[in-house]
Amino acid sequence: EAQVTQNPRYLITVTGKKLTVTCSQNMNHEYMSWYRQDPGLGLRQIYYSMNVEVTDKGDVPEGYKVSRKEKRNFPLILESPSPNQTSLYFCATSGPKAYEQYFGPGTRLTVT
């Protein structure tokens, strides 16, 4: 079954404590991306990756890092989380031209 998995699904942390949200896909897709979803703002892209070792900034990259060492994994790293990064985060994947995206179930992050 085609799947995009994210872990953890829920996370409460404190300001400044580094965290990583993992994303994994089993569809052998080149393209992966991270979005955050906030009320009234819809989905905003944080980072995307067109293939292994190729990443680029989306619309709201400040405060985030990513890496793409393997095709199936695309972790999102918050080196020093702040309360304004409290949000719902989605990982997505698609084939080579990002035509149709498959989304993970989301990670709800709260930074206090």
Partner 1 sequence: AQSVTQPDIHITVSEGASLELRCNYSYGATPYLFWYVQSPGQGLQLLLKYFSGDTLVQGIKGFEAEFKRSQSSFNLRKPSVHWSDAAEYFCAVGARGGSYIPTFGRGTSLIVHP
Residue 83 and residue 17 in contact, taking contact as beta carbons nearer than 8 Å? no
From 10-18, 39-47, 65-73, 74-82, span contacting partner 1 (CB under 8 A): 39-47
Shortest Cβ 78–partner 1 spacing (Å): 20
**Interacting residues of 47 by C-beta distance below 8 A, sequence separation 6+:** 33, 34, 55, 56, 57, 58, 61, 64, 66, 76
Q: Does 48 bind partner 1 (CB under 8 A)?
A: yes
Site string for partner 1, 54-93 (x = CB under 8 A): ----x-------------------------------x-x-
Spatial distance between the Cα atoms of 95 and 27, rounded to a whole number of angstroms: 9
Decide: is 1 part of the binding site for partner 1 (CB under 8 A).
Answer: no
Binding flag, residue 10, partner 1 (CB under 8 A): no
Which lies closer to partner 1 via its Cβ, residue 17 or residue 73? Answer: 73
User: Contact at 8 Å (CB) between 36 and 89?
Assistant: yes
